[in-house]
């Protein structure tokens, strides 16, 4: 038996493309951020039944429309990825464009919703419910903006036939944004 330890290989590989591994790590961090906010909100909500009265002032119809917009954008993102795997680059670019427009539509609707709420006196300082509402939906909106920037960059590169694997990566990010909204919508709009 030798006292000499076996040297580690110079490079340990996971078999997973670096970009995919990177986006999964990034998404794990984002999940912790949103998960922590959601858990804090739920724990406080359980101790503040009066929040139901405040939540009743949110528009479940507008929130529902935005949910439909985001779910549709997820579908077009999946179709864009499928088009890439089938070698239909221009179709993928078009579907990314539709996804981008749907993300923009979400933000436009959110601006009108915020404007209506603020004019109604429901500001971030109105009470703790509205503070959480604006924090969580505002952070989500920032993630939508980040997603729109990423989609635009990927579209430009894909149009040139470059970096097509990034369609998958931006798609994974976009699905996280959608999943987060699926949690926020019932917590903030429906559970009143």
Which phi and psi (to 5°) does residue 109 adopt? -60, -40
List pLDDT tens digits, range 15-45.
777 888 889 999 999 999 999 999 999 999 9
Q: Which residues contact 186 (CB under 8 A, 6 or more apart)?
A: none
Structure confidence at residue 8 as a pLDDT band (50, 70, 90): very low
Cα(120)–Cα(126) distance, integer angstroms: 11
Report the pLDDT value the prediction gives residue 9, as an integer from 0 to 100: 46
Q: Which two tokens stand for residue 23?
A: 């986006």
| In the chain, where the domains are located | 18-190
Cα(73)–Cα(98) distance, integer angstroms: 7
Whose CA is closest to 33, among 191, 167, 180? 180
Structure confidence at residue 11 as a pLDDT band (50, 70, 90): low
Cα(95)–Cα(44) distance, integer angstroms: 40
List pLDDT tens digits, range 61-106.
999 999 999 999 999 999 999 999 999 999 999 999 999 999 999 9
Cα(94)–Cα(34) distance, integer angstroms: 30
Q: What share of the chain is helix, strand, coil (3-state, %, to 5)?
A: 80, 0, 20
- What global pTM score does this model have? 0.89
Lowest mean pLDDT among 8-17, 33-42, 53-62, 149-158: 8-17
Q: Which residues contact 109 (CB under 8 A, 6 or more apart)?
A: 62, 65, 66, 69
CATH no. of 18-190: 1.20.120.80
CB-based burial of residue 120 (10 Å sphere; 0-12 exposed, 13-18 middle, 19+ buried)? Answer: exposed
């Amino acid at each position: 038996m030798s006292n000499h330890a076996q040297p580690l290989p110079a490079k340990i590989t996971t078999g997973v493309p670096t970009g995919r591994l990177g986006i999964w790590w990034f998404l794990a961090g984002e999940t912790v951020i949103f998960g922590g906010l959601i858990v804090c909100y739920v724990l406080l909500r359980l101790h503040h039944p009066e929040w139901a009265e405040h939540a009743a002032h949110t528009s479940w119809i507008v929130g529902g429309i935005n949910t439909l917009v985001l779910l549709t954008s997820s579908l077009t993102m999946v179709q864009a990825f499928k088009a890439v795997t089938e070698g239909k680059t221009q179709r993928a670019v078009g579907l990314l464009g539709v996804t981008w427009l749907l993300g923009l539509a979400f933000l436009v609707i959110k601006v009108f919703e915020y404007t209506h709420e603020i004019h109604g006196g429901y500001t971030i300082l109105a009470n703790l419910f509205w503070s959480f509402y604006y924090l969580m939906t505002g952070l989500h909106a920032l993630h939508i903006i980040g997603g729109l920037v990423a989609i635009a960059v990927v579209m430009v590169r894909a149009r040139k036939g470059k970096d097509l694997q990034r369609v998958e990566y931006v798609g994974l990010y976009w699905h996280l944004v959608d999943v987060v909204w699926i949690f926020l919508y019932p917590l903030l709009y429906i559970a009143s």
